[in-house]
Amino acid sequence: MKFLKWTGITLVLIVGIGAIMQKQIILHAPGIINKLKHPVAEHREILWTPQPADLAVTPAIQRKPNIILIIADDLGWNDISLNGGGVANGALQTPNINELAQNGVNFTQGYTADGTCAPSRAAIMTGRYGSRFGFESTPVPDGMSTVMNALTEQTEFAPPMIFRGEDDRLPFEELGMPNSEITIAEMLKDAGYQTGHIGKWHLGRGEGMLPHQQGFDDALLMASGLYLPADDPNSVAAEQNSNAYNKFLWSMMSYATSFNGLDYFKPDGYITDYYTDEAVKFIETNKDRPFYLNLAHWAPHNPLQALKSDYDSLSQIKDHTQRVYAAMIKSLDRSVGRVTQALKDNGLEDNTMIIFVSDNGGTNMINVADINKPYRGWKITFFEGGIRTPFFVKWPAQFAKGEQVDDVVHHTDIFPTIAAAAGVSVPSDRTIDGKNLIPHGKGVSSGKLHNALFWKHDHYQAVLSDGWKLQVSKRPGKTWLINLTEDPGEQNNLAESNPEKVKQLTTLLIAHNSGLMQPRWTSVLEVPINIDKMDKEGWAEGDEYVYYPN
């Protein structure tokens, strides 16, 4: 009997160990494959294309304006102290980002084109809803959905993840924006601008999709997502094992960049500061000719990884995760200050337009509270917390200090606004969804810019018109109707009490959808997102959620 007893225990242990090992293999295999596919060389110096030796130099104020577009990643509305007070109840201030609004124009009702990064970036680059050219969802790295499905533990009241498998999906590199689209960089390059990209792209890595193939003369590309090597003594991390998504990021990501191609090499320092160093170099290299710089920071997207010196400077924040996150915001704010200082140092401040936005709102995956305060919802949802963005434009030569525009504006407006600043026409052979913001920024126009704004991810869709927002989601089979003018926190669902408004907005949604093309790829995973809770808070009966197809 003792033999049978110990045999049974042994078998249970073997099965248990086998299950654990299987999960570890599933977790680490994509990262191992990726690192074998893209080995990372030692750091190499970036050589931005120099100005011609015979360039005829005219005063900066007499040239076409320089244009810098700064895109933060997953920046919550309340991460900027100008908006809701700032991280950790104002323990971290963001003076350099605030300055763009205080000495420029603050568009107080700025909306992202999507609740996630890639479709938003596609819309920014083209002035068009990504769904017009089949860019409807965010491409996820190979293996991510498999890892999420295997490692996510089903708990009581939690809606199940819907996993379709990756067997029939195109490789990650080929999921991107078709090169038939005209980008800001292509438009400005044709107008004589020197164009540069630094940081995150996420619009494809296949043939013809990379930034240096989409109008950028030079591109320093974010090749992977660690801010420093994981074992670097100058790094302080948080939330590494809090959920399947964070586990995947830490196992998959490396510390890597690339320049005008796909060969990976190590950056030089904390990634936010490194991108800033190169942005300053780009400005100095091109100080005597018009330039366009797309500075697309990774910060403060997870994995949560701060520079130790920034972390140490925030001892007033006691919660470790919140302190790491705040330190990441601090580095982003420092970057903005260094860029604006470089413009001053080179006599370029007055005639440079700086636009600052985020790609979407803050995520509940990092487990930091109130980052989207006072708005409801998170990244991945079409609630205000997922699609409201700081939207600042500073251009001293044209805009008065401290202007505020309360009309609804959108990511797609960036394209025609930059075109107008550069004195070029937007393409006439396609629908441009954005509007030129310059008259509003100058205070010479007060008319409504958009009759309606739209968001679409397969069965999850939304429309905003005249202060009313309708969201519809086939899974979980729910409709939300909100009067944002009276209820900006989206607490009162009026769908049942106002069927006529639901019908009116549904008609707008159907009409808009009729002009869209089929998605270029199908989703492999639908993730339930708890609208009101951080990931670590778990689920309770009655929690509201949406399914997001990816």
| Structural tokens at position 262 | 């796909």
102 or 172: which leads in pLDDT: 102
**Residues 185 and 197: beta-carbon distance below 8 Å:** yes
Q: Where residue 213 falls among pLDDT bands split at 50, 70, 90?
A: very high
Strand partners, 222: 257
Confidence of residue 14 (pLDDT cuts 50, 70, 90): very low
Q: What is the pLDDT of residues 83-123, one digit of tens each?
A: 878 999 999 999 999 999 999 999 999 999 999 999 999 99
Distance CA(482)–CA(502), nearest Å, equals 10
pTM score, whole prediction: 0.95
At residue 445, does pLDDT exceed 90? Answer: no
> Across residues 332-336, what is the average pLDDT?
98
End-to-end CA distance of the chain, in Å? 53
Q: Would you state the pLDDT for residue 17?
A: 52
Contacts of 481 (CB under 8 A, 6+ apart): 468, 469, 470, 493, 494, 495, 498, 501, 502, 505
| Ramachandran area for residue 85 (φ above 0: left; ψ -120 to 50: alpha; else beta) | left
Q: Could you tell me what percentage of the chain is helix, strand and coil, using 3-state DSSP and rounding each to the nearest 5? A: 35, 20, 50
pLDDT digits (tens, 9 = 90+) for 464-514: 999 999 999 999 999 999 999 999 999 999 999 999 999 999 999 999 999
What average pLDDT score do residues 377-400 get? 97
pLDDT-based confidence at residue 19 (cuts at 50, 70, 90): low
Report the distance separating Cα 109 and Cα 406, nearest Å. Answer: 6
Cα–Cα distance for residue pair 524/35, rounded to 1 Å: 23
Closest CA to 86 of 379, 439, 372: 372
Residue 9: the pLDDT is 45
Over the Cα atoms of the chain, what is R_g? 23
Which residue is associated with the tokens 């939304």? 462
Among 110, 117, 87, 94, CA closest to 332: 94
Rounded to whole angstroms, the maximal C-alpha distance in the chain is 95
Domains of the chain: 38-46+73-549 (3.40.720.10)
Question: Looking at this protein, which amino acid is placed at residue 90?
Answer: G
pLDDT for position 11: 37
Helix ranges (DSSP H) in 192-304: 244-252, 271-285
Q: What is the pLDDT of residue 18?
A: 57
Q: How many CB atoms lie within 10 A of CB 137?
A: 27
Condensed to tens digits (0 to 9), the pLDDT of residues 342-370 reads 999 999 999 999 999 999 999 999 999 99
Supply the pLDDT for residue 13: 39
Which residues are 404's β-sheet partners? Answer: 106
CB atoms within 10 A of CB 413: 28
Average pLDDT over residues 291-299: 98
* CB contact at 8 A, 385 and 358: no
SS (H, E, C) 65-121: CEEEEEEECCCCHHHCCCCCCCHHHHCCCCHHHHHHHHCCEEEEEEECCCCCHHHHH
| Amino acid in the structure at residue 304 | L
Q: What pLDDT digit, counting tens, does each position of 516-530 carry?
A: 999 999 888 899 999
| Residue 172 pLDDT class (50, 70, 90 cuts) | confident
Which one is predicted more confidently, 31 or 179? 179
Consecutive H or E run containing 35:
helix 2-37
Burial 445-462 (b: 16+ CB within 10 A, else e): beeebbeebbbbbbebbb
Averaged pLDDT, 143-157: 86
| Lowest-confidence pick of 123-132, 147-156, 381-390, 404-413 | 147-156
Strand partners, 546: 529
Range of lowest pLDDT (26-40, 61-75, 115-129): 26-40
Q: Where are the alpha helices (DSSP H) in 81-234?
A: 87-90, 95-102, 117-126, 144-151, 184-190
Q: Spell out the SS3 assignment of 7-30.
A: HHHHHHHHHHHHHHHHHHHHHHHH
For 22-31, 225-234, 300-309, 522-531, which range has the lowest pLDDT when averaged over its residues? 22-31
What is the tens place of the pLDDT at every residue in 245-267? 999 999 999 999 999 987 999 99
Rounded distance between C-alpha atoms, residue 159 and residue 146, angstroms: 18
Q: Supply the pLDDT for residue 16.
A: 47
CA distance 212 to 524: 29
Q: Helices 244-252 and 2-37 sit at what angle, rounded to 10 degrees?
A: 50
